[in-house]
Each structure stands twice: as structure tokens, then as C-alpha cells.
Amino acid sequence: MTMIEQLEKDAVIEEMDIFNISGLIMQAIEVKSSVKRQKTIDTKEIILDSLADILENMLTNNLNLSKQKKVEIIHLLNKLKANKEYMQLLKGNLISNQQALADMQTASVRLGKKSQSAFEMD
């Protein structure tokens, strides 16, 4: 077997290869309201954007897709866009909650200092 034939054989992508990975992709972009870290949402958002880019390229590069397949891709792109908006909302809530906690801690420190100075003896 020549090197080219070996590379050709090794490069064959089976439908099951893609099917098996699709479950991982779903887990990677799935976001639950219980997510507590902004970095987690940022990572999921990057993966979601990459998937959307792939689908947009499929639409724009005329890959001889049927009208039905194009409609399916467009519907999926709309769902991905809605997911991204949801991620951004969650991220905004996380940032707001972190800011509120930081504000409370700052106020607590200030109040603690004021109460200490009120009871200091000169």
C-alpha cells in the first residue's frame, strides 16, 4: 500500500464518527441556569459560535443542499442564536450577582470600620 493510499484510508470519515461527536457537541453547548461560572458560559459560547459558523458556511458555499436541508439549517441557526442570547442573559446575571456581592462586602467593611471608630476610646 502506498503512502497516498494509506492516508486516503486513514482520512475516511464515517457517518458514525460524526454521529458520535454530535452528542459531545450537544453537551458542550447545553447551558443550564445552574451554571455558576462565567468562564463556563464563555467556553460554551465559543463552541456555539463555531457551530453557527460551520452552518452558515454550508449555506453560503452552495454545497448542493436541498431546499428542505437549507430550511433545517436556518431553523437550527435560529435556535443557536436564541441559545446565545440565553447565555448572554445568564452571563449578565452572573456578573450582576457578583457585583452585588462585591458591593455588599464593601458596604460591610465600611460599616464595620464606622462601628469600630464609634466605640474607640480616646
Who wins on pLDDT, 113 or 32? Answer: 32
Residue 30, pLDDT score = 87
Residue 117, pLDDT score = 60
Residue showing cell 428542505: 68
Residue 1, pLDDT score = 82
Each domain of the chain, given as residue ranges in start order, spans: 37-116
Burial 12-31 (b: 16+ CB within 10 A, else e): eeeeeeeeeeeeeeeeebeb
Over residues 83-110, the pLDDT tens digits come to: 999 888 888 887 776 666 666 667 666 6
Over residues 44-61, the pLDDT tens digits come to: 999 999 999 999 999 999
Residue 77, pLDDT score = 94
Residue 73, pLDDT score = 93
Residue 80, pLDDT score = 94
Of 83, 98, 107, residue with least CA distance to 38? 98
Over residues 5-35, the pLDDT tens digits come to: 989 988 999 999 999 999 999 988 888 777 7
